[in-house]
Every structure is written in structure tokens, then in C-alpha cells.
Amino acid sequence: MNAASSPIIDRRTVIDWLGIVPFMIFALMFLIVPTLYLVVGAFFTPDGHLTLENIAGLFTPTILSAYWISIKVSLASSLGGALIGFFLAWAVVLGGLPSWIRSSLLTFSGVASNFAGVPLAFAFIATLGRTGLVTVFLRESFGFNLYSTGFNLLSFFGLTITYMFFQIPLMVLILTPALDGLKKEWREASEILGASTWQYWRMVALPILWPSLLGTSLLLFANAFGAIATAYALTGSSLNIVPILLYAQIRGDVLHNPNLGYALALGMIVITGLSNILYIWLRMRAERWPK
């Protein structure tokens, strides 16, 4: 009987594995192989000779400036998105708001977290551009010229608040399950022992949530660091961030060295890879508490 059942089990196993074959092929063709090609190309000259000059070229002023601007935009949008997203998630999970607000916010967050690229850039230009709806409304209704204050949508600050449009919903989506994981027994036990609300959050809730908060912030950082469509559609080439510089290199070899472009991509892979690895590690730590 065992011998007769083995082929059936084996066939089912094969069928189960066949279900992920399309994904594995897709990942191999469009993610793994291109990544390996870029990593290897970063250590060779166009003539095929092994070199470290491409890596050294990353420390030129132009490229370092691009990395620094990208890091600042990513850090600012991730911290802003994490802070606002945390309070939104806290309000709908623990704030006692009606259930329909939670469902509406989560539905909107699911849509807004994927709303990026040209449509998002156009939406912000139409809203906060020099002739945008809000800009014109403030000027004609209150005599307030937003751009006279130094605000410029096509700048570091403008790109940061644009990125926050999809960073905040992503924070809400990821942090809501973590807040749901805070057991009522922990709050009740702290109240029985005489702890105040602030003491509960400082000594119980925040230490439990800290891995989730930090890990999600790292994920938001990586999410912003690799974004290009929104930045390019909004600012063009006026803001020299790494994705735009890499895009220009791919289109026209602006660095005059194709393999230096590979090294530029390698630097992005390292930064986003480290952010995602730390996020996964912190997420694993955060998942221990509910268990």
C-alpha cells in the first residue's frame, strides 16, 4: 500500500513545484540574471579586463552628490511616512474610531501605496504646481503666494512630500497587523500594576513595536531610494538623484563608461539590499512577540 501511494505523492509534489515554475523563470530572467550581469560588469573594463576603477569612480563628486541627495530624500520621506503612518494606524486600530474608517483607510492605503510614477507627479503638479489648484486657491482667496515663501515642488522638499504620498499608506498597511498584535492582556496587566498610559507605551508597547517600526522605516527607505518614475516625471533632470543619473547613463552613456554605470547600479543594489535584509531580520524579531 505504501509502495502504491508513493507515485501519487510524488506526482502531487511535482505538480506543486510546477506551480511556482513561472515565477522562478520570471525572477531568473528579469531579476537574478540582470543583477548578476551588473555586479560582474562593475568589476570589468569595456575591453573585458578586471579592474577596480569603476568602484573608485563612485567616489567622484558628481556621483557622491547623487547618492547623498538620494539618501536625504529617502531618509526624509521614510521618517515622515513612518511618523504620520504610525499615528494613522494607531488611530484606526487603538483609537476607538468607527470600524468603517479603518476599512476605508486600509482600502485607500492599498491603492495609494501603488500610486506612483507619471500619474502621481501629474497629480502633485496639478495640485501644488505654480498654477496648481491649491496654489491658485490660496493666492486668489487669501492673497497668499505659496511660492513666495521659497517653496518649490521641483526641489528636494517637493520630491520628499511627493514620495510621502505612497510612503504613508505603505506604513499603515505594514504596521496595522503589528498594532493588532498588541494583546489586551498586556495593557490590563500594566494597569493592574499601576502603570500609566505613558509608562505602558514606554515600557511595554514601544519595545514590542520597535522592531516593526524600525524595520518598516528601512523598507520605506529602500522603496524611495529605488524610485525613479515619479522623480523623473516631476523634476526631470533638475534633481540629480542616483536613479535619474543611472537612467541617463543607460540612455546616453553620460558617464562615458558603460561599466561605471554598472558600478552605479551595484551601489544602489548594496544600499537597498542592506535595507531589505535589516527589515527582514527586524520583522522576524517582531513576529516572536505574538507567539
* Residue at 13 is within a domain: no
The structural domain count of the chain equals 1
Look up the CATH number of the domain holding residue 127: 1.10.3720.10
Residue 50 pairs in a beta bridge with: 44
- Whether residue 32 lies inside any domain: the answer is no
In a domain, 100, yes or no: yes
Asked, for residue 191, whether it belongs to a domain, the answer is yes
Question: Do residues 163 and 201 lie in contact, with contact meaning Cβ atoms separated by under 8 Å?
Answer: no
For 1-11, the pLDDT digits (tens) are 455 555 555 67
What integer pLDDT is reported at residue 1 of this predicted model?
46
Q: Is residue 134 part of a domain?
A: yes
Domain that holds residue 83: 61-286
Rounded Cα distance, 231 and 244, in Å: 8
Distance CA 90, CA 180 (A): 9
Return the half-sphere exposure (C-beta side, CA atoms, 13 A cut-off) of residue 231.
28
Positions of the chain with pLDDT lower than 70, given as ranges = 1-10, 288-291
Q: pLDDT per residue over 85-119, tens digit each?
A: 999 999 999 887 888 899 999 999 999 988 888 89
Contacts of 281 (CB under 8 A, 6+ apart): 215
Q: How many CB atoms lie within 10 A of CB 53?
A: 13
Q: Please state, in angstroms and rounded to a whole number, the distance separating the CA atoms of residues 201 and 207.
A: 8
Q: Is residue 205 part of a domain?
A: yes
pLDDT given for residue 6 in this prediction: 52
What is the chain's percent helix, strand, coil content, to nearest 5? 75, 0, 20
Residue 51 lies in a domain: no
The model's pTM:
0.86
- What pLDDT score does 290 carry? 58
The answer as to whether 23 is a domain residue is no
